[in-house]
């Protein structure tokens, strides 16, 4: 190694604590930036170039750098995203957050010719206020990251130049992963469009057009269709209402032959009065002043099962679906049946 | 009313005996405080000797559940008698707890 490179290495040794401090501050800034924008990513990672790696770089092209400050990737950070669209979103956030050295930044995704495939990442050379050194921010998708990691492992580790045939096969995979990345993004966009359409149908009350599934049921529950019934039940003992998850009822509603949100809405309307009467009968002579927000839907399902002749076995199946199968459910069904036996809907 | 906390390898058992009514709630809330430090474990609320539970008792169970969720733990209510089962059913608490 020549004297100039030795001087840069010595500069590195002196600056190492500052570089390590900067790496940590960069990671904190990136995490805060993503949190502010509510963006979830696969990984955020950082590193300060090791002395060995720097020495290797200087041995190859030491003359290119006049000082340590010219080495743009001396500190590196990487964000690995789920979706290719998120790479561009984060790039835009980084442009607001840091000063970008555009002359040294490169979008490797755009460097490819129409007929070539390979390494795809966005590299920004950035500056963090308060530090003299630049850092490199790499943005790539999980699939691009997997390709780059495996390509690095197979291509460089052995120190032997690999035959073109293997490079062609790696690049073919890069092309395939690019298609997969695009498809993942398209699927996400279409799912979001579907959710928006469903929410609109729910808001407009066109519930018969919406098939009952996890997504649509969640949207429906956001409209709080059981609030009025729960408030009536709570009023029996001036009880407080504790929020409870209702998604477990999806399976029950399907078993009760609800195929659309319209069916669920009709089921609620049909049985809410009897569900209230059941709650009044159960709670009226107690001093229980706390209920969960599941009680309304629970009682609707109980009433629906009992009034359609499902009996104790039907109730046991309901509790199996809600609690998981266990020996307590038969006793719970027996007890609920006995409580409901004298109510009008059982006649 | 008596509360006993037993710690095993991957499980913490809170064993309740007696009547968990309003009068017993303050002491019981103090007795279950060690459960707040339990993380990534199964917390069993063993009710085999619990005779009765009031709203105050339900609130204690609820608060154990909230702390457990915040610390990555799971709460299971076990061996409840018929009266307590009825309370869980009437209040809709069977949707809040796993009951064994």
pLDDT of residue A21: 96
**Nearest residue in chain B measured CA to CA from A297:** B92
How far apart CA A227 and CA B79 sit, in angstroms, is 32
Tell me what pLDDT residue A111 has: 63
Q: Residue B86: list chain A partners with CB under 8 A.
A: 282, 335, 339
pTM of the model: 0.63
Q: Do B98 and A324 touch (CB under 8 A)?
A: yes
Sheet strands (E) in A34-85: 43-48, 75-81
- Say which CATH topology domain B2-99 has: Transcription Regulator spoIIAA (3.30.750)
Cβ within 8 Å, pair B90-A332: no
Q: Domain A3-169, what fold?
A: Beta Polymerase; domain 2 (3.30.460)
Q: Give the strand pairing for B42-53 and B74-78.
A: parallel
Own/partner pairs for A257-260, CB < 8 Å, 24+ apart? A258/A212, A259/A211, A259/A212, A260/A207, A260/A208, A260/A209, A260/A210, A260/A211, A260/A212
Task: Give me the residue from B80, B82, B95 closest to A298, CB to CB.
Answer: B95
Cβ neighbourhood burial of A74 (10 Å; 0-12, 13-18, 19+): buried
Is this prediction's ipTM beyond 0.90? Answer: yes
Q: DSSP 3-state assignment of A99?
A: strand
pLDDT (0 to 100) of residue A176: 92
Predicted confidence at residue A110, as pLDDT, reads 65
Range(s) within chain A of domains with CATH label 3.30.460.10: 3-169
Question: What are the tokens at A127?
Answer: 């500056």
Burial label for A135, CB within 10 Å (0-12, 13-18, 19+), is buried
- For residue A103, the model assigns a pLDDT of 85
The chain-wide mean pLDDT, for chain B, equals: 92
State residue A113's pLDDT score: 60
A211-A217-A223-A224 Cα dihedral, nearest 10 degrees? 130
Question: Per DSSP, what are the bridge partners of residue A44?
Answer: A79
Question: What pLDDT is recorded for position B99?
Answer: 86
> Which parts of chain A sit beneath pLDDT 70?
62, 108-118, 155-160
* Mean model confidence pLDDT for chain A: 89
pLDDT value of position A29? 95
Domain-by-domain residue ranges, chain B? 2-99
Residues of chain B in Cβ contact (below 8 Å) with chain A:
54-55, 58-59, 62, 80, 82, 85-87, 89-96, 98-100
**Chain B contacts of A239, Cβ < 8 Å?**
55
């Amino acid at each position: 190694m020549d004297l100039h490179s030795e001087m840069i290495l010595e500069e590195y040794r002196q600056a190492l604590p500052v570089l390590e401090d900067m790496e940590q501050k960069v990671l904190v800034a990136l995490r805060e930036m993503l949190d502010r924008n509510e963006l979830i990513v696969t990984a955020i990672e950082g590193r300060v170039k090791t002395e060995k790696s720097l020495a290797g770089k200087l041995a190859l092209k030491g003359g290119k750098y006049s000082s340590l400050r010219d080495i743009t990737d001396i500190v590196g950070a990487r964000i690995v995203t789920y979706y290719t669209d998120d790479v561009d979103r984060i790039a835009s956030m980084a442009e607001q957050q840091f000063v970008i050295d555009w002359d040294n930044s490169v979008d490797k995704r755009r460097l490819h010719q129409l007929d070539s495939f390979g390494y795809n990442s966005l590299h920004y050379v950035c500056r963090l206020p308060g530090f003299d050194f630049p850092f490199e921010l790499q943005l790539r998708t999980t699939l691009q990251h997997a390709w780059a990691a495996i390509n690095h492992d197979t291509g460089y580790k052995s120190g032997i130049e690999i035959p073109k045939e293997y490079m062609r096969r790696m690049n073919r995979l890069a092309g395939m992963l690019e298609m997969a990345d695009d498809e993942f993004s398209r699927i996400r966009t279409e799912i979001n469009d579907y959710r928006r359409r469903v929410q609109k149908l729910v808001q407009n009350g066109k519930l018969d057009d919406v098939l009952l599934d996890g997504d649509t049921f969640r949207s429906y529950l956001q409209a709080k269709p059981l609030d009025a019934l729960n408030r009536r039940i709570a009023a029996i003992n001036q009880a407080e209402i504790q929020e409870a998850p209702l998604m477990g009822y999806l399976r029950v509603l399907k078993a009760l032959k609800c195929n659309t949100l319209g069916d669920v809405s009709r089921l609620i309307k049909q049985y809410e009065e009897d569900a209230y009467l059941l709650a009044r009968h159960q709670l009226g002579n107690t001093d229980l002043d706390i209920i969960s927000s599941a009680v309304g839907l629970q009682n609707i399902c109980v009433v629906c099962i009992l009034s359609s002749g499902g009996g104790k076995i039907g109730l046991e199946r309901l509790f199996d679906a809600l609690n998981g199968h266990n020996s307590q459910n038969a006793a719970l069904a027996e007890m609920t049946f006995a409580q409901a036996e004298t109510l009008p809907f059982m006649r | 009313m008596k509360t006993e906390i037993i710690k095993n390898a991957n499980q913490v058992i809170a064993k309740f005996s007696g009547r968990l009514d309003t009068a017993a709630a303050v002491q019981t809330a103090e007795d279950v405080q060690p459960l707040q430090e339990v993380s990534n474990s199964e917390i069993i609320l063993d009710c085999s000797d619990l005779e009765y539970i009031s709203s105050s008792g339900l609130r204690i169970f609820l608060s154990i559940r909230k702390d457990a969720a915040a610390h990555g733990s799971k709460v299971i209510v076990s061996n409840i008698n018929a009266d307590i089962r009825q309370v869980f059913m009437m209040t809709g608490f069977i949707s809040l707890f796993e009951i064994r």
